[in-house]
Amino acid sequence: MNLDLTPEHETFAAEARAWLAENVPAQRLPSMDSAEGFVAHRQWEATLAEGRWSVVSWPEQFGGRDAGLVEWVLFEEEYYRAGAPTRVAQNGISLLAPILFDHGTESQRERYLADMANGTTIWAQAWSEPGAGSDLAAIRSTARRDEGRQGWVLNGQKIWSSRAVWADRGFGLFRSDPEAQRHRGLTYFLFPLDAEGITVRPIAQLDGETGFAEIFFDDVFVPDDDVLGAPGDGWRVAMSTAGNERGLSLRAPGRFLAAAERLRSLWVREGANDPALDDAVVDAWIGAEAYRLFTWNTVARALDGADLGAEGSMNKLFWSELDVSIHETGLSLLGARAESRSTAAVDGGRWVDDYLFALAGPIYAGTNEIQRNIVAERILGLPRGERRERS
C-alpha cells in the first residue's frame, strides 16, 4: 500500500485550501455552546455547504463530493490549519449519518441527509441517562408500542445532550422490550426536539457555557418511519456510531497538528527559556506527529480492507490526552497571564477556552477508563472477568 499523494489528491487539497482562505471568518465565532454562537455556527455550516465542503466524503446526491479516506484526512488538515470554526453539525454528520447510510431506509436518507449537510437541521445525541453513563446498557428510558398509531411512545430522561436546547432533532436509544435486559430490547429512534411531550432544559457547564442539556420525554409519539434499524436491534446499531465517534471520523489529525503548531508559535513568540517547557513543547510536537503518522497508517490499512476493530479506542486515548497536554503547556508558556480568557488576552483568550474544552476529551465519547478496558480486553486479549451488572 503506497500512500504517496497523487496529483488529484494535491489538487483537491489545494482547492480546499483556496476556498477556506477565501471563506473562513476572520474573527473567531462565539462558542457554539452559546445561543448567539450556535446561530453563527449554523450559518457557517450553510456557507460550507454552498461551497460543497460540509460533507466531502458523502455521495454527491446528498451534498458531498464522494471523497475517499485520503481526501477526507487532507480536507481536515486544511480545515484546521485554516483556523476554521468547530462543526456544530458534527454529531449528525459523524455519529448519525454513517448509521443512516448503513442501517437507514431510503426514505430516511432522503428526508434527513441533505438538510443535515447544509445546517438546516442540527441533530443532538441523546444517549446518556442519569443512571447510564459509561454503562450505557443500563438505559431505562422506554418505548411503548402503539399499534393503533403505527409507532412508539417514548418516556424517560436523557442527559448531556450537547446543544439540544437549540438543535432541531435528536437521536437515541430507548428500551422497547421491558422484559429484555441490558443490550437486548433497545431501539434506535429519531425525533424532533419540539415534539409534544418533550422538554429540554439547559445545564450550565464548567466552561461557563450552556451547551449541555437534559431532555425529558413524557408520552412522546414517534412513528415507525423514525425507527432507525430494526426494533430491538438498537444496541448493535448504536455501537457502530460509538466506533465512529472514537475512531477516525471525529478526530482527524488536522485538529491536533493545528493545536501543536499554535503551541510552537506561542513558544517562539514568548521566547521561553525554560528547559522543562522546551521539552513539553517538543513532546507535544512529537505527539501530534505520531498521531498524524498513525492515522495515515490506519488509512492505508483501511484502504487495504483491514478490519480496524477496537483500534478507535487507542486513537481516543491518545488524542484526548495529547489535547490536554498541548493546552496545559500553552497555559504554562503564558505564565501568570494564562488565567485571562478575555478577548484582550494572548490569542484572543483561546488558550483558556481550548484548555477547558480539552478537559472534556477524556470523558466524552466513552471515558478513557472504558477505552482502556476495551484496549486491554479486545486488543490485548486480557480476561474480561466478572462485571457486577444490575439486573
Partner 1 sequence: MRFVPTDEHEALGEAIDEIIAGCGGVDVPRGWANGDTASGRRLWSQLADLGLTGLRVSEDDGGMGGTPQDMVVAFERLGYHAAPGPYIESVAFLPHVVPSDIRAQIAQGVIATTSAAPHAPWAVDAQISDLIYAVGDSWWAEATVGSEEESLSALRRLVVVDPGERTSSDSAAIAFAHDEASLAAAAYLVGAGERLLDEAVSYAGVREQFGRPIGEYQSLKHQLADVRVALSFARPLVHGAAVTLSDHTGPRAVSAAKVAAGVAARRAARTALQVHGAIGYTAEHHLGLWVTQVPALDTAWGTPATHRARIARALRAE
- Site residues for partner 1 per CB under 8 A: 1-5, 264, 267-268, 278-279, 281-283, 285-287, 289-291, 293-294, 296-297, 300-301, 304, 314, 317-318, 369, 371-373, 375-377, 379-386
Measured from the CB atom, the residue of 1 and 35 that comes closer to partner 1 is 1
Least distance between partner 1 and beta carbon 199 (Å): 38
Q: How far apart are CA 53 and CA 55, in angstroms?
A: 6
User: Residue 4 CB, nearest distance to partner 1 (Å)?
Assistant: 6
**Shortest distance, CB of residue 287 to partner 1, whole angstroms?**
8
Residue of 320, 88, 323, 96 whose CA lies nearest to 209: 88
Which is closer to partner 1, CB of 198 or CB of 277? Answer: 277
Q: How far is the CB of 359 from partner 1 (least distance, A)?
A: 19
Q: Closest distance between partner 1 and the C-beta of residue 131, in Å?
A: 21
21 versus 268: smaller Cβ distance to partner 1 = 268
340, 349 Cβ separation under 8 angstroms: yes
Look up 369 and say whether it is catalytic: no
Smallest distance, partner 1 to C-beta of residue 136, A = 18
Comparing CB distances to partner 1, the nearer of 138 and 268 is 268
Q: What angle do CA 98, 99, 102 make, to 5 degrees?
A: 90
CB of 183 to partner 1, least distance (A): 21
Minimum CB distance to partner 1 smaller for 4 or for 194: 4
Catalytic-labelled residue, pool 45, 71, 76, 245: 245
Q: What CA–CA distance (Å, rounded) separates 24 from 258?
A: 15
Nearer to partner 1, 171 or 291 (CB): 291
| Contacts of the segment 277-286: beta carbons below 8 A, 24+ positions apart | 277/329, 277/332, 277/333, 280/325, 280/328, 280/329, 280/332, 281/329, 281/333, 283/325, 284/260, 284/322, 284/325, 284/326, 284/329, 285/260
- Looking at the Cβ atoms of 117 and 314, the one nearer to partner 1 is 314
C-alpha cell at 309: 476493530
Active site residues: 245
